[in-house]
Structure 1
Amino acid sequence: MAKIPENTDELTDFILSDVLYGVDLDPVDSERLLSYMRERHEHLFGPHSTYFVLGSYEPPFKYRLDEALDVLNRRHDAYAYLLATQPDLDVSADVPALKVKFFLHALYAESIPLILEHDTGGAVAEFGRVERPTLLERTYLFPRSREERYDDESVLTTRDAIRARAIELAYHAAEFDAELAALADHARDHELDVSTQDLESYVETELGGRTPSYSGVITDSLVHLESLDRCFSWTTTDELEEQLSTVP
């Protein structure tokens, strides 16, 4: 289906053909699906702008989702939310309730910001789902450190810039330990009291001990979304807040 379902019959057809791929809904499940839509009517179809925010719920990555919610909810008549905060869909055990719930919300959100910091977990599954034509035109992807903004030594004159570069190295450096040590030396050369251990601790806190990366499959999709002006790299939380302004 190339467009958003406009009525309950179209919605049921979409769920059956484009989400469940032939798994039938029995009459009870169909009624529960419609009941869910009725209960969420004001949320899904209200006068406010809805932002369905996607990304990893693991700490510390969840903190960036919370920051995105805060930024978007400051807008006039805006409602930004996570899937986890919405009521569960009560259907039979053989129906993938979480998947159906995801599409019910994604179909009617006005914008879908997806914050991506690594290539494992639920955020990657969500990334695959929002690439569908029905959703792609409303999706805005925010991958962390897709671009290297702090690789010019001339900008590495503040503690914040040094920390941002440390994050970039975690994503891009072939010899991370050596390059992090060199970064600490550069900081001290500029009379900044920053040690290698300080930077290691900062990266550990920001990335939860994970070695971040984007697989070739993810990178290929990032190139696609960049060509559609739907992909906006960020490194620091302040940059993420600025980049969220691209979401209408």
Structure 2
Amino acid sequence: MADIPETTEERTDYIVNDVLYGLELDPIDSERLLSYMRERHEHLFGPHSTYFVLGSYESPFKYRLDEALDVLNHRHDAYAYILATQPDLEVSDEIPGLKVKFFLHALYADSIPLILEHDTGGAVAEFGRVERPALLDRTYLFPRAREEHYDDDSLLTTQDAILARAVELAYRADDLDEELDALAERARDHGLDISTQDLESYLESELGGRTPSYSGVITDSLVHLESVNQCFSWTTTEELEERLANVP
């Protein structure tokens, strides 16, 4: 595992060589980069624990990011944040400022929790970035519905369990409409007043009309992080809050 750059000089070298692949910075951009790092160092680097939380900013997925921030910020002497709330790095147009900003914050963070609910958008790009050796050992991945928890009919006795099972089905059912009909029937068998329409409305609010999935490339990386105990599946927001206890 590559060492994490610790000093300002090491971080500058990492950005130039490993992020910008040797792209030359002119003196003005170099000074802006150093200035940004000095300012962020005072804000982020200290005795407190820092958590750089990654995930989708789209609605309704950002709700889970906000929940993760709330849970982590309730820890003693902790600071959890997302990239969007941090000042922009002002560099020339030839330099990918947002990319550099991302890596600077990732290098400062003590831990990098990534909330993953689908395989498109910025969260997937972030996932690819944190797989770099300098960052991977501080990354903790939280994919939604990676594991099935509610496929046993004996567990489907409460409304919460039925709704959680609906989310799991949204990720893996070949015929979701048919599966939701069957799930609603099982709910009624257990005395629960839940219709197929109720389940569809719930999935709309949870997933924003998206049909979620994970590509083979994503799944392969999930297996890797699971093997080193850095990947924790969740289905409901309450489960996500519990799984975040795995972030040191």
Amino acid across the alignment from 2:230 = R
TM-score of the aligned structures, taking structure 2 as reference length: 0.98
Q: Give the AA of the match of 2:12.
A: T
Letter in 1 for 2:125: A
Find runs of 4+ consecutive structure 1 residues off by over 3 angstroms.
none
Provide the C-alpha distance between the structure 1 equivalents of 2:6 and 2:190, rounded to a whole number of angstroms.
60
Question: 2:24 maps to which residue?
Answer: 24
Partner of 2:126: 126
- Separation of aligned partners in 1, 2:10 and 2:50: 21
- Give the secondary-structure state (helix, strand or coil) at the position aligned to 1:40: helix
Residues 17-69 of structure 1: CA distance to partner in whole angstroms, max 9, x if unpaired? Answer: 10001211111101000100111122221211000000000000000000000
Q: Tell me if the contact between 2:11 and 2:107 (Cα under 8 Å) persists in the aligned partners.
A: no
- In the other structure, the counterpart of 1:69 is 69
Give distance in 2, aligned partners of 1:11 and 1:162: 48
What residue is the counterpart of 2:160 in the other structure? 160
Shift of residue 92 of structure 1?
A: 0.5
Cα distance, 1:4 vs. partner?
1.9
Amino acid in structure 1 at the alignment position of 2:50: T
Give the Å deviation of 1:7.
Answer: 2.3
After superposition, the C-alpha distances for 1:176-223 in whole angstroms (9 at most, x for unaligned) are: 110110000000111100000000000011000000000000000000
Q: Secondary structure at the match of 2:51?
A: strand
Letter in 2 for 1:82: I
1:133-212 aligned within 5 A? 133-212=133-212
Q: Per-residue displacement from partner, 1:135-192 (whole Å, max 9, x unpaired)? A: 0100000000000111011000000100000000000111111011000000011110
Gap runs ≥5 in structure 2 = none
- Distance, in Å, in 2 between the alignment partners of 1:114 and 1:6 is 22
1:218 maps to which residue? 218
Q: Which residue of 2 aligns with 1:246?
A: 246
Identity %: 81
TM-score, normalized by length of structure 1? 0.98
Q: Structure 1: state its 5+ residue gaps.
A: none
Q: 2: distance between equivalents of 1:130 and 1:95?
A: 20
Deviation at 1:229, TM superposition (A): 0.5
- After superposition, what is the alpha-carbon deviation per residue over 1:101-140, rounded to whole angstroms, capped at 9, x for unaligned? 0000001100000000000000000000011110010000
